[in-house]
Structure 1
């Protein structure tokens, strides 16, 4: 097993991060080598896969839709258990024509779309049931180290990690910091997307929207938090009602994932 590192040394992927080392409100810290968050594993080479295996990864939990999994299947390191837990099922593919039509005229539409996505992660019964399944998985299989990911590891994964850190009692300033760290990690991906679309003579409005779609923002985080407050009142109610976790479940998670 390698040393404790926030950012993992993955060359052919985005946003691979350990959530260990964060202090809680009652004096504990999150364990290292227990939960890794990341983008997809579709581009890993043999060296990347060996690195993850050596880091201690034992579970690969894929939060993507079937469409995403089929188009970019995970390259799972040998001996790592793979499981699917889609947060929602994607109903349409973002073709170039659709993207250009939707995002070339109004520079605010990308950010508005993302805020809606975050609200939907909280109010959608489908997303709620999927996050409940995710936490039951963490409760039933606490041994080893789980890698949790979606396509870029920033939204579905981002909110899953936000929820987990709240359950573990991590201070909100550190929860925000961890969430917002995806902005820096996604810069190369944003540039890759812009370069991909430049063949279509895109304008600056389109570029601004692409950046909004493929980064994170405190506005997105706040959209989710405001929806939690609207529907559940506070985070404690959210943990018990949305995630369906009992006080005993919370204590079990803290016993396993905190030092």
Structure 2
């Protein structure tokens, strides 16, 4: 199913949050659309302007889930709108993020190989899985208002979370991949200075179709199918999630 993913209606109108968008409006294989202003993905919320906070409060944004490590949160704490009632910290890859950040600065590091290692850990590491289970347990609770989940760049930890959500909502993989790759377009302005300072780290700062495909291949290799991974490993009730977030 061909969909136009890069539309102003899906990108959140935020001045200081670059890689943000609404999952709403994407259609699944059955032609059903994801409800708008329910599930939002983003990069860090540490620099939100007053106007940004006013917009998020108008939705209203009631739940924020932060996938970053404690170090990342201390360095750039979230700015939250007054409407936010729940702020959850689900540290994904928290034990490895400091190492990865140091490797990014090293010209001798093979960024592409390290990114494959990161994606391996995102979908198979028991600690990551425990955090993603909690994430989906939160999504499956009755929600009022909007739920926003994010990490620092909004591309890897958030990208895998989004791919899993869309799989659970029966969205086809071409659409999932297109949405995943939009991060490259949205992060150009955020990371332009890093591209110049660390040209060897291009793969650290972007996403590649190969990374997401590698995650899918690992899931198939270790768990047989994405449906089994979603239900048996992440404990997702697919029918309940689809009822909650798809248009009737």
CA contact (8 A) 1:62 1:83 kept: yes
> Gapped runs of 5+ residues in structure 1?
198-205
Cα distance in 2, alignment partners of residues 254 and 98 from structure 1: 39
CA contact (8 A) 2:104 2:204 kept: no
Determine the structure 2 residue equivalent to 1:72.
76
Determine the structure 1 residue equivalent to 2:94.
89
Alignment of 1:62-211 (within 5 A): 62-81=66-85, 82-91=87-96, 93=98, 99-100=104-105, 102=106, 104-105=107-108, 109-195=110-196, 197=197, 206-207=198-199, 209-211=200-202
1:19 has 2:23 as partner: yes
Give the 3-state SS of the residue equivalent to 1:93 in structure 2: helix
Cα distance in 2, alignment partners of residues 23 and 135 from structure 1: 20
1:229 has 2:246 as partner: no
Cα distance in 2, alignment partners of residues 218 and 40 from structure 1: 23
Q: TM-score, normalised by structure 1?
A: 0.86
Cα distance in 1, alignment partners of residues 103 and 131 from structure 2: 28
Larger Rg: 1
Evaluate the alpha carbon distance shift between residue 219 and residue 127 of structure 1 in structure 2; reply closer, same or farther with a 3 A threshold: same
Cα distance in 2, alignment partners of residues 112 and 91 from structure 1: 15
1:241 has 2:232 as partner: yes
Give the 3-state SS of the residue equivalent to 2:202 in structure 1: helix
Cα distance in 2, alignment partners of residues 216 and 97 from structure 1: 19
Deviation at 1:114, TM superposition (A): 0.8
Deviation at 1:115, TM superposition (A): 1.3
Deviation at 1:91, TM superposition (A): 4.8
Determine the structure 2 residue equivalent to 1:200.
none
1:10 has 2:14 as partner: yes
Evaluate the alpha carbon distance shift between residue 90 and residue 226 of structure 1 in structure 2; reply closer, same or farther with a 3 A threshold: same
Deviations 1:95-131 (A, max 9, x none): 997644x3x246xx11111111011111100001100
User: Aligned match of 1:54 in 52, 58, 62?
Assistant: 58
Q: TM-score, normalised by structure 2?
A: 0.90
Cα distance in 1, alignment partners of residues 139 and 81 from structure 2: 20
CA contact (8 A) 2:27 2:33 kept: yes
Tell me how many residue pairs correspond in the alignment: 239
- RMSD over aligned CA atoms reads 1.9
Cα distance in 2, alignment partners of residues 215 and 92 from structure 1: 16
User: Aligned match of 1:253 in 218, 224, 241?
Assistant: 241
Determine the structure 1 residue equivalent to 2:40.
36
Cα distance in 1, alignment partners of residues 100 and 90 from structure 2: 25
Give the 3-state SS of the residue equivalent to 1:146 in structure 2: strand
Deviations 1:184-222 (A, max 9, x none): 111112212235x3xxxxxxxx40x32210111101111
Evaluate the alpha carbon distance shift between residue 97 and residue 222 of structure 1 in structure 2; reply closer, same or farther with a 3 A threshold: closer
Cα distance in 1, alignment partners of residues 244 and 103 from structure 2: 45
